[in-house]
Amino acid sequence: FAIDSNLSVHTDNPDLTPCFQNTILAWIPSIYLWSALPFYLLYLKHNKRGYIVLSMLSRFKTLFGVLLWCVSWADLFYSFHELLQNRTPPPVYFVTPLIVGITVLLATLLIQYERLRGVQSSGVLIIFWFLSVLCAVGPFRSKIMTTALPEEAVKKFRFTTFYIYFALIIVELILSCFKEKPPFFSPVNTDPNPCPELTSGFLSRLTFWWFTSMAILGYKRPLEDKDLWSLNEDDTSKVIVQQLSKEWDKEKFHSSRKEDVTYMKRSNNVLNHTGDGLQEAEVLIRHKKHNRKPSFLKALLRTFGSYFLIGSFFKLIQDLLSFVNPQLLSALIGFIKNKDAPAWWGYVIAALMFICAVLQTLILHQHFQYCFVTGMRLRTGITGVIYRKSLVITNSAKRSSTVGEIVNLMSVDAQRFMDLMTFLNMLWSAPLQIFLALYFLWQTLGPSVLAGVAVMVLLIPFNSAIAMKTRAFQVEQMRYKDSRIKLMNEILGGIKVLKLYAWEPSFSEKVLEIRKNELRVLKKSAYLNSLSNFAWISAPFLVALTTFAVYVSVDEKNILDAEKAFVSLSLFNILKFPLSMLPQVISNIVQVRRTWYRSCFQQLEQTEPQMSLVSGMQRSLASTCNAISVTNASFSWGKELKPSLKDINLLVPSGALVAVVGHVGCGKSSLVSALLGEMEKLEGEVAVKGSVAYVPQQAWIQNATLKDNILFGQAPNEQKYQNVLEACALKTDLEVLPGGDQTEIGEKGINLSGGQRQRVSLARAVYSNSDIYLLDDPLSAVDSHVAKHIFDKVIGPDGVLKGKTRILVTHGISFLPQVDHIVVLGDGKISEMGSYQDLLKQNKAFAEFLRNYALDEDIEEDEPTGTELLFLTTSSLHIQRGGTSTYGCEVCVFYTVQTLDCGSCTNHLCCVILQVKLTVFWQYMKAVGPVTSLVICFLYCCQNAAAIGANVWLSDWTNEPVINETQHNTTMRIGVYAALGLLQGLIVLISSFTLAMGGISAARSLHTALLENKFHTPQSFYDTTPTGRIINRFSKDIYVIDEVIPPTIVMFFGTFFSSLSTMIVIIASTPLFAVVIVPLAILYFFVQRFYVATSRQLKRLESVSRSPIYSHFSETVSGASVIRAYGRVKSFIDISDLKVDENQKSYYPGIISNRWLGIRVEFVGNCIVLFAALFAVIGKNSLNAGLVGLSVSYALQVTLSLNWMVRMTSELETNIVAVERIKEYSETETEAPWVIEGKSPPEDWPSKGELEFVNYSVRYRKGLDLVLKGLNLQVHGGEKIGIVGRTGAGKSSMTLCLFRILEAAKGEIKIDGVKIAEIGLHDLRSRLTIIPQDPVLFSGTLRMNLDPFNKYSDEEIWKALELSHLKRFVSSQPSMLDYECSEGGENLSVGQRQLVCLARALLRKTRILILDEATAAVDLETDDLIQMTIRTQFEDCTVLTIAHRLNTIMDYTRVLVLDNGTVAEFDTPANLIASKGIFYSMAKDAGLA
């Protein structure tokens, strides 16, 4: 039975012994099938996808299977026939046909069973047929060879059956590669675009061939949402989150076995929704064990562990395979040395190398596929669970973590988990690889390996020290970056104010200062990076050097030959990866653990959804007539806090209107929350009967259309909807909004005024048509007359809601007489209850409350010019002219976005991108410096030359003849080798330095240009461009240029040159290789183009679809109480799942595209290995062993660099766009120069303060109508002019013209006879003073806010503060003038902010003061202060006031009435009233005439 080595190996015509052929070879496929069968059957049992109709393909497969069986058994019967004829055949002839026959029959039955289970293409069988063919090739050849010999005539029958058998298995193999039709009766697939993966064949899945259609599509045209495939069922949120929640519930259940058994039984039914007796029994037995906290990790492991382990199994096989090639390399070198070896050995070795490499590729990518899909499912699961949790989270838990933290947890940490998945296997795989590599190295070189390993181990702390330092730098740099972005955000928010005050230079300096620090840190970390690059590239070399040096020096008899040198080199290369990865993986895991502990997974592990709402709904308690009954109840915001409401007793009859009043902070809102079940009930009973609608104090508005916000998931009913709009006074607002009720409302309702938001929130409640209405002060945000309208039409006794139970928290005293009951709260207790009349008679707290508030109420009644309406109309005006107010601007943006046709836009974009590529690269090179760029390329060439030199020298050294068992001049050899290697390391260091410096100088110049341009950009640009878009340039794009592009370029150059040097080496050693390069390069190029185009668009789609998940989440968290009150939790969960699935839909093809690319590119690499080995075998006689070792060991490394080269090209192409985007924004049109040399006005200009408009017209932007039309007017020095007019008459435009924020369309303005169009902007703007409408403050000290240029002394500043009535406030602060204002001046009241603006004006004290009177913000008191100061301090100046409150300008010199952009009236107030024109009617409205 033994293999005869003379017959099989040492011959030019090898063959295997008949005995071996008939046993081992014939049995291999059978052994495989029988061992795989049980697992496969188990899998089929669990996965049924409907059966497949019997097709021609299936019939043929079965037919050939039966034929095979017949053929095998024909052999068997032939053996029996021989027995009968007394020729006893050997037992093999009975056993083998029997086994083969049964196995083939089994395979045939399996074909049918698979068809019934809906398997379209079977991997198990394909491998079986493939093995059968493989094992039959040998016997087939030997049989053909033996047929030529004459004496074998006897075996004719067996030969014939074998040939038939061979033909049939080949046919079976070919047939099994085709796939069946999709299963019948499978669950109906309504999918418009199902993922082809499910229906693709086994081979297609193995090579990811099914992805090719998308790769081609993405190459032809930009991908859109509709091109993406639907998710596989198993990857959808619905399935995953369900599984995870189930495991999590089990986990909680197992861990919460308390002592109290009966209690457990109850909650068991709640948790598992079953009353299963078994579990209860189990509880009784186990209840003595101590408690452990439920671990979310365990639930995750149970849910995703098994799937992940399949991937780990693949990884194991791949690790083992990776050590086969070095062994084959050693065999190949041995073969080259041995001049009499038969040629077929070489071919077999080459073929084996190729097969091994291909297998490795296929298996590795299967492993990655499993890992990434696990990661993706993990993110879906965690996101889903956190989302569901956030909807039921208790208030005490909510206080301990902010919305931002939870969103962060959801985005960043879930992402971290996802990234960890790919590394997790390295935990066991890296030590395994290290162990195996060391074992083989020891076999090759003996103990001297330890020297090399020592070097590697020493490099680890060096690398980790660098990594620690880099991380520290990153943190520092993040801090600078954050502060820079924050400052930019404020600057862009207040850009108009900066322009009006001419403060740009001061702020520009501040930004550049931060930027300087940021780049300083970047530079440091760049130095560190180049050090670590140096370590990374020199490591394998240093290791090899020390090992070889020690090996040669230890013993003269130690000879370094090609086999030892190159085999150990390739082993060291394998060793490099796990050694570098291990520290990374460990630090990643540590990070994830840290996030795990800080995360609200803790919360996931602690808080139970509160039950008070549910218990509150025990309807049986509520007696029929009372809608709400609360008896002896106390509530707190958290179990550990003291109760905020004590001893509440409250009965509300059905259909009553109850007002809740009390001073601020007495627990009115808490009472409403308690009724909603949002608070912890400490004692007592609460019953609420019927459905609830809730209007919170701060309106919660979704990012959806206005109509969706009101319907809030109810069925639309037009009639009802219109009535609701009418009642809530929203009709007028809809006319103002650009899209009517289809207007997209920004996040948090940004483009609605406060009053509008409140009314939408109320409309939602009214539309919901519930039984009980809890209204938490809905009337505070709206104006008094609007409030009256809403009370009459909606809430009051004759409103839409009459007959419903209403609880109204209010401050408005005027409504109290009309309500049924009044509840007065004081310090968390109900102090009195009763009707209005009763309470007045009691003359207790309530009566006093009335007296306090009545005064305020009168003041409000004084001026019925609803600020609310004004606010609305101003915002409408802004929209018409493209928005200068924050609101108008937003609306405008939404509107434009909606009208764009997205498709055309992206297509256009893509065409642009292709032409742009080279010019953009050229722009970046210019920014780096053309000379630097060339130097970098040159250095890279040198570095690779040195590397090749070192290896060529090594191969030359290994060929040195051996004399008396020793090699000569080893020291010289070692010396040169070391010199070449260290030279390479040095050049690496220098080149990474230069590149880093070049990258930083590019970053600096690009940012400076962008900033410079943005400060010089006219205001109209900011009115039409959302701030977010500009901020994005400053944050995202600058970040890409700072930190993404340089390392990508380093990687790209590295991989590019290493691939190049491989080609050079292989061609140099085997020139024949040049023939193959061209087809391989073409193949590579095609794969790369397809991949880059497709993957870039998938990335884009993925990032576009990611942000809605988080914005929807943060919206949900902030509106959780509303969502719960309306009972819409389920549908919100569905929306969230949908958003997550949408995102995964573009993420999944992104993963697959990497696998697709990897397999194709690595195949090119494997071909290179094959041809390098093959040509080495062909040219065996002219080559020496050293050269072969060199060329093949280079080829073995090339796959990795080829793969990374494509990835880096893609990265570069994706990211270089940032340069272009920044360029685009650095070249927008600019306003007039700040200072014109030689045209500066005299120092004391304007001395008189005379203004003259000459035939002056202006428009906001090109293409819009004129806002001011042919104004002619003259203002003398020192006059006080009031400017009035209806909204949209052009009042604010006049001020903007004076400052040349708007440039004249025709005509001119003269100040003291100087034409303002002819002087520099800063000369003009610094000589005028304005107190703008909305006071803008910047974060920084108070002093900086008053005097950014440090022009004034402390005394002057204190004087200004005193005059603006801020001195008391500022001097009471510990830091006085250095009092820190927070962003936007949040820590000052609005009135104080207005006074700061006044102080600015007082400091400047120019001859012309423009006062854009604040409308909504300022209380009357502040307003009077400002007016008074202006009258006294600016007595001799020209004052222009844009007035909204006419009483402020009744004593002015003259009043200018504008109407529709023209001068309607211009005279003294008295004359205007007498002439009964426009001004008169306005004064009459205001009650002044």
pLDDT tens digits along 120-139: 888 888 989 999 998 888 88
H or E element in which residue 590 lies: helix 562-598
- Predicted local confidence at residue 1179, as pLDDT: 84
Which of the four pLDDT bands, split at 50, 70 and 90, describes residue 945? very high
- Predicted local confidence at residue 892, as pLDDT: 30
- Predicted local confidence at residue 623, as pLDDT: 47
Q: DSSP assignment of 1131-1158, as one string?
A: HHHHHHHHHHHHHHHHHHHHHHHHHHHH
- Predicted local confidence at residue 621, as pLDDT: 44
Lowest-confidence pick of 336-340, 744-748, 975-979, 1027-1031: 744-748
Q: How far is CA 192 from the centre of its chain?
A: 27
DSSP state of 446: G
Q: What residues does 744 pair with on adjacent strands?
A: 705
- Predicted local confidence at residue 12, as pLDDT: 66
Question: Over 70: is that where the pLDDT of 1293 sits?
Answer: yes
Which of the four pLDDT bands, split at 50, 70 and 90, describes residue 738? confident
Q: Contacts from 72-77 at CB under 8 Å and sequence distance 24+?
A: 72/97, 72/100, 72/101, 72/104, 72/165, 73/97, 73/101, 74/161, 75/158, 75/161, 76/101
CB 325 within 8 A of CB 353: yes
Question: Over 50: is that where the pLDDT of 261 sits?
Answer: no
pLDDT digits (tens, 9 = 90+) for 1078-1117: 899 899 888 888 888 888 888 888 888 888 888 888 888 7
Question: Over 90: is that where the pLDDT of 293 sits?
Answer: no
Structure tokens at 279: 């579990």
pLDDT digits (tens, 9 = 90+) for 857-892: 433 333 333 333 333 333 333 333 233 333 333 233
Q: Residue range 614-633: average pLDDT? A: 61
Helices (H), 293-342: 296-321, 324-337
Return the higher-pLDDT residue of 70 and 266: 70
pLDDT digits (tens, 9 = 90+) for 1317-1357: 888 888 888 888 888 877 788 888 888 888 888 888 888 88
Q: DSSP assignment of 650-701, as one string?
A: EEEETT-EEEEE-STTSSHHHHHHHHHT-SEEEEEEEEE-S-EEEE-SS---
- Predicted local confidence at residue 188, as pLDDT: 56
- Predicted local confidence at residue 887, as pLDDT: 30
Question: Over 70: is that where the pLDDT of 101 sits?
Answer: yes
Which of the four pLDDT bands, split at 50, 70 and 90, describes residue 706? confident
- Predicted local confidence at residue 912, as pLDDT: 45
Up-side HSE of residue 1182: CA atoms within 13 Å toward CB? 9
- Predicted local confidence at residue 352, as pLDDT: 93
**SS3 of 1025-1044:** CCHHHHHHHHHHHHHHHHHH
Question: Over 60: is that where the pLDDT of 325 sits?
Answer: yes
Q: Residue range 828-852: average pLDDT? A: 80
Instruction: State how far the Cα of 791 lies from the Cα of 778, in Å rounded to an integer.
Output: 10
Vertex 1486, ends 1483 and 1489: CA angle to 5°?
Answer: 45
Q: Residue range 1221-1244: average pLDDT? A: 84
- Predicted local confidence at residue 907, as pLDDT: 43
Residue matched to tokens 């299967």: 366
Return the higher-pLDDT residue of 90 and 401: 90
Structure tokens at 1008: 């400076």
Question: Over 90: is that where the pLDDT of 240 sits?
Answer: yes
Q: What residues does 681 pair with on adjacent strands?
A: 635
- Predicted local confidence at residue 611, as pLDDT: 40
The SS3 call for residue 560 is: coil
Return the higher-pLDDT residue of 900 and 1230: 1230
Question: Over 60: is that where the pLDDT of 291 sits?
Answer: no
Return the higher-pLDDT residue of 954 and 614: 954
CB 310 within 8 A of CB 370: yes
Question: Over 80: is that where the pLDDT of 39 sits?
Answer: yes
Question: Over 70: is that where the pLDDT of 1457 sits?
Answer: yes
pLDDT digits (tens, 9 = 90+) for 1366-1425: 888 888 877 777 887 777 667 777 777 878 888 888 888 788 888 876 544 456 666 777
Nearest to 758 by CA among 722, 795, 813, 719: 795
Instruction: Return the top range by mean pLDDT from 81-95, 513-527, 556-570.
Output: 513-527
- Predicted local confidence at residue 374, as pLDDT: 92
Query: What's the N-to-C CA distance of the chain in angstroms?
Result: 124
Q: Cα-flanking dihedrals φ and ψ of residue 834, to 5°?
A: 150, -175
Return the higher-pLDDT residue of 183 and 285: 183
pLDDT digits (tens, 9 = 90+) for 1125-1164: 888 889 999 999 999 999 999 999 999 999 999 999 999 9
Question: Over 70: is that where the pLDDT of 1261 sits?
Answer: yes
- Predicted local confidence at residue 1408, as pLDDT: 87
Q: Residue range 1197-1222: average pLDDT? A: 85
pTM for this entry: 0.76
Q: Residue range 694-723: average pLDDT? A: 86
Q: Residue range 1450-1469: average pLDDT? A: 85
Q: Residue range 670-682: average pLDDT? A: 84
**SS3 of 1284-1340:** ECCCCCCHHHHHHHHCCCCCEEEEEEEECCEEHHHCCHHHHHCCEEEECCCCCCCCE
Which of the four pLDDT bands, split at 50, 70 and 90, describes residue 16? low
Q: Contacts from 1198-1201 at CB under 8 Å and sequence distance 24+?
A: 1198/1058, 1198/1059, 1198/1062, 1198/1165, 1198/1168, 1198/1169, 1199/357, 1199/361, 1199/1161, 1199/1162, 1199/1165, 1199/1166, 1199/1168, 1199/1169, 1200/1165, 1201/1054, 1201/1055, 1201/1058, 1201/1059, 1201/1062
- Predicted local confidence at residue 1140, as pLDDT: 92
Measured over the CA atoms of residue 192, residue 197, residue 202 and residue 208, the dihedral's sign is: positive
- The answer, yes or no, to whether the previous bond of 1246 is cis (omega within 30 of 0) is yes
- Predicted local confidence at residue 1277, as pLDDT: 83
- Predicted local confidence at residue 872, as pLDDT: 33
Strand 821-826, strand 805-809: pairing: unpaired
Nearest to 48 by CA among 161, 189, 191, 185: 185
Alpha-carbon distances, residue 1414 vs 316, 607, 1284, 1408, 1479 (angstroms)? 72, 48, 13, 19, 20
Q: Residue range 743-769: average pLDDT? A: 79
- Predicted local confidence at residue 1256, as pLDDT: 87
Cβ-based neighbour number of residue 184 at 10 Å? 11
Number of H helices, E strands in the chain: 55, 21
pLDDT digits (tens, 9 = 90+) for 519-535: 999 999 888 888 888 88
Q: Can you give the length of the chain in residues?
A: 1489
- Predicted local confidence at residue 360, as pLDDT: 93
Question: Over 60: is that where the pLDDT of 182 sits?
Answer: yes
- Predicted local confidence at residue 1133, as pLDDT: 93
Question: Over 80: is that where the pLDDT of 150 sits?
Answer: no
Instruction: State how far the Cα of 143 lies from the Cα of 136, in Å rounded to an integer.
Output: 10
Which of the four pLDDT bands, split at 50, 70 and 90, describes residue 622? very low
**Over the chain, what is the mean pLDDT?**
80
pLDDT digits (tens, 9 = 90+) for 898-932: 323 333 334 444 444 444 578 888 888 888 888 99
CB 388 within 8 A of CB 246: no
Structure tokens at 389: 């949790």
Q: For residues 583, 587, 588 and 592, what is the CA-based torsion angle, rounded to 10 degrees?
A: 150
Q: Cα-flanking dihedrals φ and ψ of residue 320, to 5°?
A: -65, -40
